[in-house]
Chain A
Amino acid sequence: MQADKQDILNRLAQAVINMDITRANEIAAEVIRCKIDPYEAIMDGLAKGMDKVNELFENEEYFVPEILLCADAMYAGIEVLRPYLPKEGTWNKKKVVIGVVKGDTHDIGKNLVKIMLDNAGFEMHDLGRNVPYAKFIDTAGELKADLVCLSTLMTTTMDGMQVVIEDLKKAGITSSVMVGGGPISPGFAKNIGADGYAKNVAVAVKVAKSLFQDVHLPLTFKTPEFVSVRKNRGGVR
């Protein structure tokens, strides 16, 4: 039984790595049949596979199209497991508002960061691309967002990031701000008052986590506290 479970979790991770939606669906159904904790299946199966994908991306074995397909497989698995998860808990997931600033319609980098942060346990609110400055301020205020992520791919729009950061401050919103995208440098990020700078998708998760280092709330699917919170609430078995 124990070996079977590990085998199923491994195959779940492998389905994600192999970008195989069908397999992810099938194995997730097997998880339910074998009465394996669906949270464990997400954490030690799907999310673990996605971690490996991130590694492959860092090592330039996988590129953007592969990540997108792996993420699809991961989400397909999660969809199968979702009905068997206990209702949303009261734990404090960090809220993240993410978008591409006005004038730039490239959002592939933003979409990847969203997937990675989502996978790392952040609650993602995606404003899309070509987002007016005020929309960031309004949403961050409404949600009391913990983090605002701004992305641009063009030199011509990076100044908009500064406007957003200044307006957030003017509006008295204390969300941290992480910036990233092609033309941005660490110096630029610092100059415009950003709290974090993510050089690329692979480091975005690390940077986002580091911004909340001193906070002891469970941040990710993988933290032990989080697991125990879920288990104490009864799980599904």
Chain B
Amino acid sequence: MTEKERLLKALRGESIDRTPVICPGGMMTTANREIMIQTNCRWPAVHRDAKKMAALSIAMHEETGIENLGIPFCMTVEAEAFGGEVEDGDEITTPSIVNYPLKSVEHWRDLKELNPYKDGRLPTILECIGILSQKMPDVPVPGNLVGPLSLATSLIDATILFKVLRREPENVHGLLRFLTDNSIRYGEALINSGADLIVISDPSATGEILGPELFEEFVLHYLNMMICRMHMLGKPVIVHICGNVSSIYKPLNELDSECISVDSVVNMKEVRHAIPGKKLMGNVSTLLLQNGRENNVRKVSKTLLNFGVDILAPACGLSAKTPVRHIKAMTEAAKSV
């Protein structure tokens, strides 16, 4: 069974020989400084170079045993394509948005429709996905998208956005509909370029920040629109939600993705009970992966596997300083079952 077959079967609920272990890329950053130095594919240059990006993610797959190819190494590509100013960071810091294109939500109509083959770094990502899917046909390549509300917080100051959720809901819905349509178009392009599945990360759309009512109104519906289109193209979807999800169990039951990926604060047993219909992915603490002992990483991974997590994965993006042997301790735990 190839790594690609195993992951896709796991997501479809078909029988597999063992649990896959992945780190999807995008917000769930999958890169490491040791390997950057080894391959001479270093941040920040890699972020704008499809070939180096591909080389670094292949090396990550080979050196750490992570069973996918995870690009890009940040969650700024869509926001940048919409006109957000990005600072590329350094050897260990991911790119980030430093200047928002929107000063108020009502100006969302000034945003230009995305052309995934032209705008910002989107063509670079598509090119990289193409290289990876051709070079490594047996390894799954996720297409990474940012959820509409989180994307909105990269286009406008989050404080402003969160205030208008209640004050100007119609403008917010206008913005979110626009972003959803455009992200769907980018998602289609990712799939056309060779992505095997779609991972949507929605770090700002957490139950902790929004609570159940606003999550239902401003997150659930738009995620489902994206998921629906990806399903029509025959690709499974994983949604990553940050923070504690206990306040949004009810709306999460209505999420149409095959799988939910959760943060390290989340108790998997409770989630399984509260959201019985979903595959669960997670949730090895990235703090533990970076600073803990190898043995503890192994133990936590084993506990998750014994519990029956459907996909073993870090709970968040990996710090570039995470030692390779710690990541290996996690991947080997899955492979030794």
- Residue numbers of A with Cβ under 8 A of B are 19, 60, 62-66, 68-69, 72, 102-108, 111, 130, 153-160, 182-185, 188, 191
A103 partner, pick from B94, B165, B204, beta carbons under 8 A: B94
Contact B214 A185 (CB under 8 A): no
Q: Which residues of A contact B128 (CB under 8 A)?
A: none
11 further contact pairs, Cβ within 8 A, besides A153-B203, A154-B94:
A63-B209, A63-B210, A64-B162, A69-B166, A154-B316, A155-B319, A156-B320, A157-B94, A158-B319, A159-B92, A159-B321
Give chain A residues whose Cβ lies under 8 Å from the Cβ of B154: 105
Say yes or no for B290: interface residue by CB 8 A criterion: yes
Q: Mark B61-99, 1 if CB is under 8 A from A, else 0.
A: 000000000000000000000000001010011101110
Asked if A155 meets B316 with Cβ closer than 8 Å, knowing A63-B208, A65-B162, A188-B287, the reply is yes
Q: Are B214 and A108 in contact (CB under 8 A)?
A: no
Q: Name the CB-closest residue of A to B94.
A: A156
The reply to whether B317 and A108 contact each other, CB–CB distance below 8 Å, is: no
- Identify which of B96, B166, B318, B321 contacts A104 (C-beta below 8 A): B96
B111 interface residue per 8 A CB criterion = no
Q: Can you give 9 contacting A-B residue pairs, CB < 8 Å?
A: A62-B211, A65-B165, A103-B89, A108-B159, A111-B159, A157-B94, A159-B319, A182-B243, A183-B287
Chain A minimum-CB-distance residue to B163? A68
With known contacts A155-B317, A156-B317, A105–B162 Cβ distance under 8 A: no
Known: A63-B208, A103-B96, A156-B320. A72 touches B163 (CB 8 A): yes
Chain A residues near B233 (CB-CB < 8 A): none
In the complex, the 8 A-B pairs of residues with the closest C-beta atoms, listed nearest first: A63-B211, A103-B93, A155-B286, A65-B162, A64-B209, A105-B96, A108-B158, A155-B319
Q: Which of B13-39 contact A (CB under 8 A)?
A: 29
B98 touches A130 (CB 8 A): yes
B319:A107 contact, CB within 8 angstroms: no
Question: Which residue of B89, B211, B290 is within 8 Å of A60 (Cβ)?
Answer: B211
Identify which of A60, A107, A182, A188 contacts B242 (C-beta below 8 A). A182
Contacts of A155 in B (CB 8 A): 286-287, 290, 316-319
How many interface residues does B have (CB within 8 Å)?
39
B17 CB, nearest partner CB in chain A, Å: 31
B247 contacts A by Cβ under 8 Å: yes
Chain A residue with Cβ nearest B84: A105
Instruction: Contact check, B214 vs A63: say whether CB atoms are below 8 A apart.
Output: yes
Contact: A154 with B98, CB < 8 Å? Answer: no
* A157 contacts B166, C-beta separation under 8 Å: no
Q: Considering the chains assembled together, what is the distance between the CA atoms of A154 and B97 in angstroms?
A: 14
Q: How far is the CB of A216 from chain B (nearest CB, A)?
A: 35
Contact assessment for B210 and A65 in the assembled complex, using a CB-CB cutoff below 8 Å = yes
* Complex-state Cα separation, A40 to B248, whole angstroms: 39
On chain A, the residues within 8 Å of B162 by CB distance are 64-65, 68, 108
- Residue in contact with B97 in the complex, picked from A105, A157, A191, CB distance below 8 Å: A105
- Which A-chain residue is minimally distant from B150 (CB atoms)? A106
**Distance A130 CA – B29 CA, assembled complex (angstroms):** 18
Shortest distance between the CB of A50 and any CB in chain B (Å):
16
Given A106-B158, A107-B158, A158-B319; A183-B286 close (CB under 8 Å): yes
B291 within 8 A of A: yes
Asked if A69 meets B214 with Cβ closer than 8 Å, knowing A155-B286, A157-B93, A159-B92, the reply is no
Q: Which residue of A lies closest to B157 (CB)?
A: A107
Q: Which of B87, B167, B210, B242 interacts with A64 by CB under 8 Å?
A: B210
Bound: A68/B158 CA distance, A: 11
**Chain B residues near A185 (CB-CB < 8 A):** 287
B215 nearest CB neighbor, chain A only: A63
List of B residues within 8 angstroms of A188 by Cβ: 287, 291
Docked complex Cα distance between A72 and B89 (Å):
34
Complex-state Cα separation, A51 to B174, whole angstroms:
34
Q: Which of A68, A106, A154, A159 has the most CB of B within 10 A?
A: A154
Name A61's closest neighbour in chain B (CB-CB): B211
Residues in chain B near residue A62, CB distance under 8 A: 211
B321 contacts across to A, CB distance below 8 A: 159
Cα separation A156 to B154 with both chains bound (whole Å): 17
Contact B159 A68 (CB under 8 A): yes
**Least CB distance, A99 to chain B, in whole angstroms:** 14
Residues of A within 8 A of B97 (CB): 105
Smallest beta-carbon distance A36→chain B, Å = 29
Evaluate contact between B210 and A156: CB separation under 8 angstroms: no
Residues of B near A105 (CB, < 8 A) are: 96-98, 154
Closest to A183 in B: B287
A209 to B181, CA, bound (A): 47
A111 to B154 alpha-carbon distance, docked (Å): 16
Q: How far is the CA of A63 from the CA of B210 in the complex (A)?
A: 6
Most buried by B among A65, A106, A156: A156
Smallest Cβ-Cβ distance to A102: which chain B residue: B93
